[in-house]
Amino acid sequence: MDKGSMGNETKLVDIDYDNLQFRVAREAFVSEEVLTGEYEKIFNKCWLYVGHQSEFKKPGDFVARTIARRNILVTMGTDKAIKAFFNTCPHRGATVCRERSGNSKNFQCFYHGWVFGCDGNLKSQPGKESYSEGFAASGAGNLVAVPHVDCYAGFYFISFNPNVESLSDYLAGAKEYLDLVSNYSESGMGISSGTQEYAIRANWKLLVENSVDGYHAVSTHATYLDYLKNTNGSLSSTKLEGHSFDLGNGHAVLEYAAPWGRPIASWIPLWGENGKKEIEQIYARLVERHGEEMAHRMAHKNRNILIFPNLVINDIMAITVRTFYPQAPNYMLVNGWSLAPIEESDWARKFRLSNFLEFLGPGGFATPDDVEALESCQNGFNNFGSVPWSDISKGMGKATPSYDDELQMRAFWTRWNQFISGEPTPQPKLRQVLSAEAA
């Protein structure tokens, strides 16, 4: 992106701390140039979610995924180490793995027949006598590894940036929340089978905002709240109520109470008396393991967690892990999974998945209306020449922003702006106060 378009005269994020106004240029949602900059300066530089530990159980287990437009192959080697490779034959380019997932000790490129082990090393090469003697030994024929792979609390991330900071430093305050989610389980969390793979005809940052937006629930999701009333006799006395926190490095979270049931461990009448007993047992075990205060927080608080730039872990009426990438300024590809304790009972798993589907995903009672809202925004952005700004000032200046303020979006955009403009974003004194509270 050339300096001219990123200079002050056309800045994309406009922060006015004196008047408590935070605005984002709608150009950031429609410009091809901005998208190119996002791939170069954000997706090429940050840590990106690639998969969950539970997807790799034994040597040879693999998944092939598209991460930031690249074909990536992640494998568990014979030494049980998780490795990530660019899924392309070093010889002439074909993808060496054309299955989505499975178990294989070898990957054969079907074009010329080169074979690679699950450690990425070249194992055989038809006509190898025609290559120089040291060719295979030199490593020139091995799959190329992604510069960095690391794991935190069961979540695997990769980075294309050889000089990226450590994952632990990168995750900053988000680590506490990843730990909390992983601590639901005594034997490990696992991704359930079944991937919700869909698309939204909107800019990817709209889904970032929406995933941590506590403000839209009452109007966008009116029919979902009606559904809760209809199926539980009345809407639970639990009000939507809580706070949002800036976790540093562009990560943010909302933590709040809400009127829906949680498989861990907040009962609703729809689940019946048997369900009540089961939920009470799950809760009692949480208290034993984590103490009353933490157990209450785990069971009765919801968390919408954003890991910059594009990982969302929403620990709400079920736990969804969601990641998404732009294909064009107005089109993104979304992948969503369900995460649950591996040891969960059949009852709990069934009710969890049912609870997931009542709200979440393309067939849920809420997500389709989010998709509609995002596409509607994108449509509205066609007017960006005449209506150039979006406003995300809600709750600016509050000492303790509410779950339905927009602090979490400002945390994202502030970090986004640092990467895109290459300049530090001005920090208000107030912001430090908020960060201190979050910690």
Q: What is the DSSP letter of 102?
A: E
Q: How far is the CB of 379 from another protein (least distance, A)?
A: 7
Look-up of token digits 């530090």 = 424
Q: How far is the CB of 314 from another protein (least distance, A)?
A: 14
Q: How far is the CB of 165 from another protein (least distance, A)?
A: 33
Q: Name which of 364 and 428 has its Cβ closer to another protein.
A: 364
Please choose, from the candidates 242, 246, 266, the residue with its C-alpha nearest in 3D space to the C-alpha of residue 177: 246
Q: Name which of 376 and 432 has its Cβ closer to another protein.
A: 376
Binding site for another protein (CB under 8 A): 100, 192-201, 220, 222-224, 226-227, 230-231, 331, 333-334, 337-338, 346, 349-350, 353-354, 356-358, 361-363, 365, 367-369, 371-373, 375, 379
DSSP string spanning 376-390?
A: HHHHHGGGTTTS-EE
Exposure string of 388-414, with b = 16+ CB inside 10 Å and e = fewer, is eebebbbbbeeeebbbbbbbbbbbbbb
Q: How far is the CB of 431 from another protein (least distance, A)?
A: 34
Q: How far is the CB of 227 from another protein (least distance, A)?
A: 5
Sort strands 241-248 and 106-108 into parallel, antiparallel or unpaired: unpaired
Q: Name which of 12 and 373 has its Cβ closer to another protein.
A: 373
Look-up of token digits 């991460």 = 67
> CA triplet 48, 51, 56: central angle to 5 degrees?
145
Q: Are 158 and 50 in contact (CB under 8 A)?
A: yes
Q: How far is the CB of 143 from another protein (least distance, A)?
A: 24
Q: Are 182 and 290 in contact (CB under 8 A)?
A: no
* C-beta neighbour count of 430 within 10 angstroms: 14
Run of H or E including 40: none
Q: How far is the CB of 413 from another protein (least distance, A)?
A: 24
Calpha distance 428→415 (Å, rounded): 14
Q: Name which of 198 and 384 has its Cβ closer to another protein.
A: 198
Task: Kindly list the strands in the beta sheet with 70-76, ordered across the sheet, starting from the edge strand earlier in the chain.
Answer: 82-86, 70-76, 61-67, 101-103
Calpha distance 308→306 (Å, rounded): 6
Q: Name which of 166 and 230 has its Cβ closer to another protein.
A: 230
Q: Name which of 92 and 229 has its Cβ closer to another protein.
A: 229
Q: Are 122 and 142 in contact (CB under 8 A)?
A: yes
Q: How far is the CB of 382 from another protein (least distance, A)?
A: 12
Q: Name which of 39 and 227 has its Cβ closer to another protein.
A: 227
How far is the CA of 221 from the CAs of 17, 124, 224, 370, 372, in angstroms? 32, 56, 5, 8, 11
Cis peptide before 217 (omega within 30 of 0): no
Q: How far is the CB of 131 from another protein (least distance, A)?
A: 37
Q: Name which of 240 and 357 has its Cβ closer to another protein.
A: 357
Q: Show the DSSP H helices in 105-184 as ranges.
A: 167-171, 174-182
Q: Name which of 147 and 368 has its Cβ closer to another protein.
A: 368
Calpha distance 260→278 (Å, rounded): 17
Q: Name which of 165 and 369 has its Cβ closer to another protein.
A: 369
Report the SS3 class of residue 221: coil
Q: How far is the CB of 200 from another protein (least distance, A)?
A: 5
Look-up of token digits 């920090």 = 427
